[in-house]
Structures are given as C-alpha cells and as structure tokens.
Amino acid sequence: MTPESDDHAPEPPAANPYARTRVLDAFTVVEAAGEIDLATADFLAEHLAAATATARPDVLVDLRRVEFFDCSGLRVLCRADSRAKERGGRLRVVTDDPRLHRLLRASGLWARFTPLPSIPRVR
C-alpha cells in the first residue's frame, strides 16, 4: 500500500441530498442543491474538503439548484476557497440567481466569488 500524494484527490464523499461531486474536463464540480443552511452546510463542506485536497485544485461550486443559501454556506465557501488558494488552486461559484448575487454583494464577497452564469467549457 502506498501513501496518497497531494496530486491525487481522495475519493469524493457519497452524494447526499445537498451535494454531489463530479469531474468535468479540468474541473471538479461540486453541485449543491436545496437549502444550504446551518443544518445542511456540513454536507456541502465535506464535498468541498475533498475537492480542495489536491495540489492546484480547480473547483466549480454549482449553486444553480440551490433554493436557499445563508451565512453558513458562505462560511463553507470561504474555507474551501482558502484551502484551494493555499494549494495553488482556485474555487469559483456558478449561479445566475439574483438572490445569491445580492447575498454575495451584501456580504462583501462579490469580488472573491464573482459568479459565473454557467459551467465554462474547456476546448
């Protein structure tokens, strides 16, 4: 048995009602769904922890299926973003929801998480 290197991601956690992970082209996509709040943010956090565990992670957090998102979700995003940057990577959010846009602006996190309207295509 060999130890895992930083270049290989651990197995993503099992999908749950609030988050699932998939690899798409060069990105690790963590898709969130439903209500992300104090009671459910840890389900998203475990997926983001695994996604940011590699060297130079490129993570997209797809929030397009989220119905509610509060400061607990923002805290999870900030922690995951910090982990990604510490490893030379990046974390971006995907949403076109005006409510999430307002939340990011009101929280002062718009510049940190300027949302993409859709998942970018790699050519």
Structural domain of 40: 19-106
Quote the pLDDT of residue 9.
Answer: 56
In a domain, 2, yes or no: no
- How many domains, the chain? 1
DSSP letter (8 states) at residue 14: P
Quote the pLDDT of residue 66.
Answer: 98
Residue with more model confidence, 4 or 104: 104
Quote the pLDDT of residue 5.
Answer: 42
Question: What's the average model confidence in pLDDT over 13-23?
Answer: 93
**What pTM does this model have?**
0.89
Report how far residue 9's alpha carbon sits from residue 51's, in angstroms, rounded to the nearest whole number: 7
In a domain, 112, yes or no: no
**pLDDT surpasses 90 at 29:** yes
Task: Give the CATH number, domain containing residue 84.
Answer: 3.30.750.24
> Measuring CA to CA, how many Å separate 64 from each of 4, 19, 31, 46, 109?
33, 12, 8, 19, 18
**pLDDT surpasses 90 at 1:** no
**pLDDT surpasses 90 at 34:** yes
Question: What's the average model confidence in pLDDT over 51-78?
Answer: 97
